[in-house]
Amino acid sequence: MPAMTEIAKKFFDACDQGRGWAVCKEYCTPNATFAAQAEPLADVGTLQQYTDWMKFLLTVLPDGRYEVKSFAIDENGKNVSAYGVFMGTHTGQGGPVPPTGKSVRTDYVYVMFFEGDKIRHMQKIWHAGLALQELGWVK
């Protein structure tokens, strides 16, 4: 397995299990950036912020889990794409509204761009609006 794919898988697991930056930073450059065209993440510009956001999200959706559908590597472009499905139920405190008891099942893709053997940038592709509706956070 190419090194980029192995590192991307380790990062993906740590990030989406809510381990936060303390664990995820091992796989990233110190100033790794983040971007997404998704309203809840509009102010998130670093991977540190995003991995800590995921850590917090799993307190709001304590049964949060993911299913990996595929990993693809682009060696020339020095990136790895990961497609997953995230699932969870809003039973924890701290979300934008009191716990709704509603569940979400949402598709997303991470594209992780590498500098050497570290992730330097990650782009998240996600339809946040539908996910927020499923959770009862917006109408």
CATH number at residue 47: 3.10.450.50
Q: Is residue 14 domain-resident?
A: yes
pLDDT tier for residue 110 given thresholds of 50, 70 and 90: very high
Residues of the domain holding 14: 3-134
Residue 101 falls inside a structural domain: yes
Integer Cα distance of 12 and 95 in angstroms: 23
**Is residue 77 included in any domain, yes or no?**
yes
**Is pLDDT at 2 greater than 70 in this prediction?**
no
Within a domain: 139: no
CA distance 91 to 77: 40
Is 1's pLDDT higher than 60?
no
Assigned domain for 17 exists: yes
Q: Considering the domain boundaries, does residue 44 fall inside one?
A: yes
- Please indicate, yes or no, if residue 129 is contained in any of the structural domains: yes
**pTM listed for this prediction:** 0.95
In the prediction, which pLDDT does 99 show? 96
Domain count within the chain: 1
Express each pLDDT in 49-106 by its tens digit. Answer: 999 999 999 999 999 999 999 999 999 999 999 999 999 999 999 889 999 999 999 9
Residue 93 lies in a domain: yes
